[in-house]
Structure 1
Amino acid sequence: MTTERTILATSGGLRPGERTYFEFSELTQFAVDLAGVTGRAPRVCTISTACGDNPHVMHELGEAARVAGYDHSHLQLFSMPNVADPAEHLLAQDVIWVMGGSVANLLAVWRVHGLDRAMRAAWEAGVILTGVSAGSICWHAGGTTDSFGADLQPVTNGLALLPYGNGVHYDGEARRRPLMQRLVADGTLPESYCSDDGVGLLYRGTELLEAVAELDGAGAYHLVRDGDTAVETRIDPRRL
């Protein structure tokens, strides 16, 4: 396990598998490599609270982890936690990987079970935190979400391990970019970092270290407020 507080927040890391429903792709493997595990299989815990611990999703994530060679576990919260002490379980991992879905529901359920505190403790202990979409926004102060319906809305009660807004699927869904710009411009969200599909944002502590990509041509973006507008600057990712 690394001793540095590390988050890889992504709009990727998972793809359709050849012989399984899912495969973990380069962004997830990069997160696992960051843990620096040698001499054994890396311990990776997947969490799918954002899709209601859907049994199909949990099974297929387990299959993807098996193909990748991870020592895999899944932290399930519905209808009750599947381990006696979720916080202790998370601290024993090398990597925590969070599935996408409803970030609003994820945040609410995590707080009921004390996972907001448990995630901070794991982060401070050097466990790598990563995930896709909702599993990216959750580490930040907030972002844009379809948790409340088809029309995108802001979510502003993220765990705020990172003091920024986070825009996911920046090039994949046409409404994401203009809404992020508006939310930063009017102060609903703070300074923000955004990722095209296939891009990850690597933070050491609370500072962005670099953007990385598993797809050619994909970008990352920095948004800051200037008066009543948002200024967007592209960050060219390093191709994995």
Structure 2
Amino acid sequence: MTDPTPSTARHGREPTILATSGGLRAGGRTTVMFDALVHHAVDLSGVHGRRPRVMYVGTAIGDAEHFAARTAEAARVAGFDLTPLQLFPMPNLDDVEGAVLDQDVVWVMGGSVANLLAVWRVHGLDRVLRRAWRSGVVLSGVSAGSICWFRGGTTDSFGPELRPLTNALGFLPYGNGVHYDSDPGRRPLVHRLVGDGTLPDTHCTDDGVGLVYRGTELVEAVTETPGKGAYLVTREGDKAVEERVEPRRLPAPG
């Protein structure tokens, strides 16, 4: 279920989500660097005159400390102030809601979307993130960090065989298909689930592609990788119909 969102918010921005199958790449001096999609999330926040504040949420990989450290290095190189939000073994912040609402961007790492949703709900982070979205904090992420904002999608959270997930946060009233070009099982499963009504109309991304939503409206597809696409899968009768959307190429990070 989605809620109506205000046209103006605490941060002076319309509620915005950038849902992606990308954003990170191998670094030179660092193991990981932020690619164009993460930089675009910051651009969407409209921050200027100070260092962007980005929250990294690694719940989907169990708050793996080694990856949090790599992300902190990527943020240092990019010139961002990074705040990690960890929920294992307990929240690492006294005021989680205050910290989330103080960000320009929340970036959610991939991994197990089923586990992510369960842990967020135990801690009430689902409600905090909804308030952040309404207030104008840009919500973004990759893979599990993309599916979570929608009604559901396809996931390997339960084992190697892809399965449907239909109990995501539902900020956006669509399904979401990630890694559409790199995982050969994703496209046929999305088509089957949309065709039989398990998933609503579903928005999908090849690796390196992101979808920008203002409120609940898809306004643009963008990519950090040439030749990749986005796709709208809709139901006609008992069949799924796919439409390709050509994304705009983002400039490479400086």
2:227 match: 217
Corresponding position: 1:112 with 2:115: no
**Helix, strand or coil at the partner of 2:161:** coil
In the aligned structure 1, how far is the partner of 2:12 from the partner of 2:214? 11
Offset of residue 36 of structure 1 = 1.0
Within the candidate set 71, 77, 89, 1:61 is matched to 71
1:97 match: 107
1:46 match: 56
Do the aligned partners of 1:2 and 1:34 also contact (CA within 8 Å) in 2?
A: no
Q: Describe how 1:64-213 pairs up with structure 2 within 5 A.
A: 64-213=74-223
Within the candidate set 20, 25, 29, 1:19 is matched to 29
Identity of aligned residues (%): 65
Do the aligned partners of 1:2 and 1:35 also contact (CA within 8 Å) in 2?
A: no
Within the candidate set 239, 243, 247, 1:229 is matched to 239
**Helix, strand or coil at the partner of 1:136:** helix
Q: Can you give the 5+ residue segments of structure 2 that lack an aligned partner in the other structure?
A: 1-10
Within the candidate set 24, 35, 39, 1:29 is matched to 39
Distance 1:183 1:85, change over 3 A: same
Distance 1:64 1:2, change over 3 A: farther
Offset of residue 39 of structure 1 = 1.2
Do the aligned partners of 1:184 and 1:192 also contact (CA within 8 Å) in 2?
A: yes
Q: One-letter code of the match for 2:141?
A: G
In the aligned structure 2, how far is the partner of 1:146 from the partner of 1:19? 32
Offset of residue 98 of structure 1 = 0.3
Offset of residue 2 of structure 1 = 4.5
Residue-by-residue CA offset, 1:125-148 (whole Å, 9 max, x unaligned): 000000100000000000000000
Do the aligned partners of 1:2 and 1:36 also contact (CA within 8 Å) in 2?
A: no
Q: What is the aligned residue count?
A: 240
CA RMSD of aligned residues (A): 0.7
Residue-by-residue CA offset, 1:111-167 (whole Å, 9 max, x unaligned): 000011000000000000001000000000000000000000011111000000000
Q: Can you give the 5+ residue segments of structure 1 that lack an aligned partner in the other structure?
A: none
Do the aligned partners of 2:13 and 2:45 also contact (CA within 8 Å) in 1?
A: no
Offset of residue 223 of structure 1 = 0.7
Offset of residue 88 of structure 1 = 1.4
Q: One-letter code of the match for 1:232?
A: E
Q: One-letter code of the match for 2:58?
A: S
Structure 1 runs of 4+ aligned residues shifted over 6 Å read none
